[in-house]
Structure 1
Amino acid sequence: MAFTLEQLRGFVTVADELHFGRAAARLQMTQPPLSRQIQKLERTIGAQLLERDNRSVTLTPAGTAFLTEARRLLALAEAAPGLARRVSSGSAGLLRISFTAASAFGGLGALLNALSGRLPDVELVLSERVTRDQVAALRNEEIDLGMGRPPVDAEVFDSRLLSREAVLVALPAGHRLLVAGRPLTAADLAGEPVIMHSPLEARYFYDLVVRLVDLDHQNVVHTVSQILTMLWLVEAGRGLAFVPASARRLGIAGVGFAELAVPADMPADPVELHLIWRHDARNPALWSALRVLDDTSAASHDA
C-alpha cells in the first residue's frame, strides 16, 4: 500500500508545529484523524517517524530523513499541474534540435539565443547530423526540428528557409588567385587541385558545386564530408575547396577566401539552410519554437 499526499501533508505539518493540536488546526481538521494519518503513514513506510507523549512531539532520526523527501514530493506534486499546463501549451518541455556541422558556425547560435530568450523553460537538446540522418531521425520521431539542406519530402515534412549564403573558394594563404580582384571563374580554376564534397555524405554541396562550376574531376585530390576538414586540407596546401561563406568564421589562419562567379540562372547566395519538421509533430514545444522564430524573422525584416 502506498502513502497518500494527504498523509504527507499531515506529517509535514506536524513536523513543522511539533504539536498535533496546532497541526490539526492548520489543516482545518480534528486531531484524531490526523493521528490516524500519521500512524497509517508509519505503517506504510515501516518506520516510526515521530516520538510523542502527552507533552511533546519530536522527530525520530527516520522522521528527520523522511521530512526532506516528503517536502520534495509535496513540492513536485504542487508543481506538476502547472508544469503539465506549460508543456501542453508549449511554454515548457523538451525540444530536440539537430543541425549540420556547417550550420553550427552559421545560424545555430542566433536560433538558440532566440529560443532560450523567449522560451526559458524549454530545454534545448542538440545533436549534430548530416541532413540525410536528420530526415531519418525526424521520421522516427527521435528529434523535433532539423536544420538541414533541401529538398525534403513535402508529403511528410514542412520546411522553412532559414538563411541563404554565398559559395566561396577557399585557397591556401598566398595563392595567386587570392589577388585576382574579381570573382573567380571555372577558367581561373582549371588545373587546380580540388578538395571536393562527398557525393554520398555531402550530396547537397556536391550537387551545388557541380552546378556552379564545370569541374574536371581528374583534378579532385580528396573527397570529404565536413567543411572544417576541407579547410584544414586547404591550409595544408592540398588544394582549393568550395565552402559556404560562413566558413570564414572558423578563422583558420592559413586559408584565404575568394568570391566565386555564379551563373546568371542561379541566385548570388545559392546555399540554403532550412528548418525541417514533421507535418504531424506532436510536441507542443515545437510549435511554440516555430512561432518564436517567425516573430524573430519578422522583427529582423522590419528593422
Structure 2
Amino acid sequence: MGLFIEPPTDADRGYLNLWEAKSNGEMAIRAALEELWVKYEPYADAGFPSKFARHPDEHFWEMYLTVLLLDEGKKIRPRKDVLKAEREVGPDICVLEQGRKVWIECVTPGAGKEGHPDSVPELGGKRTLHAAPRRQVELRITSSLKQKRDQIRAAREKGIISAEDVSVVAFSGANFWAQSATGGIPHALSAVYPIGEEYMIVNGDTFEVIESKYALSTKIPRKGGPDIARTAFLSGEYPELGGLIWSRRTIGNFVGQGCDFVYAHNATAQTKLDAKWARWSREFLIHTTKDEYVLEELTQEK
C-alpha cells in the first residue's frame, strides 16, 4: 500500500492538496513522501497512512526522522518486534545498539491559542518589521518538553526503558518554522539553558569586536502566568532525557534540502548520547565551571 490513500472524511486540508497534487510542486512533494514511505513502512504503526491523512505534520516528522537515522546507518527496531505495551507507553522510535537502546519520542508542538500573547503569532501578509517571537517559541518547547519527560518517566517506571538506555525528545518546529528562523542560537537550546541576548565586547579605540558573549537569562517571560525557567538541562529536573533534537523541516520545505537537525546534550542526564552520535547540522555541549557556563558547539564532519 502506498502512503496516499483515499482520503477519509476528516482528512487534513494540506493532505487533500497533496493527494490531488495539481501543481508541479505538490507532485514533487508527494513523490518525495512516497519515497520516504517505502523506507519507513516496516517501522510504522498499523494504519499509519490513515493517521498521516488526518495529522500529516506530526506523522511526517516521525517518518522523516526515522528515515534519516536509517540513512545514518542506525539500526531501528521494526514494528513487528515492538510489544503491545511498548507501543502504548514507549517512545516512537527505538534505535538498537550494543548493550542499550536509544529511545526517541517525537513531538510537533502547536503554536498555541490564536491571539494569546504567549502563543507564536501568525506571520502577517503585510511587510512590516516586528520582533522575532523567540520567547513564544521557547515557551512552546518547554511546555512540550515537560509532557514528554513525564511520559518517558512513566515508561521507565514500567520497565520499558532501562537504566542503561538513552531517551531523547525530538522536536519539530513545523507549526512555526518561519517564525523560528535564526542564524544564531537555536530556539531549542535557549529554551533549556539560561542563554539570553547576545552582546559584543568592543575595543573603544578601534571599535573592533573583541569577543561575543550571551547574557545570563534564567527565566522565559510569560504574559499569562508565572515565568518559566529556562534551566531544564541544568536544574537536574530532567535526568531521564539525554538531550533533544530540533528541526524546522516540514512537509513543505524538506524536498531537496539537507539535514538541519540540531542536537543539544543535557548536562544533567543520567545517560547520554556520545558526541557526534549522528551527523547533526549543529551540536551543543554545556560545560559548567565554578563561575560560568561554557557553551561549546562541536565541529561537524562533512
TM-score of the pair, normalised by structure 1:
0.20
Larger Rg: 1
TM-score, length-normalised on structure 2? 0.20
Q: Which has the higher contact order (CA 8 A, sep 6+)?
A: 1
Higher helix share: 1
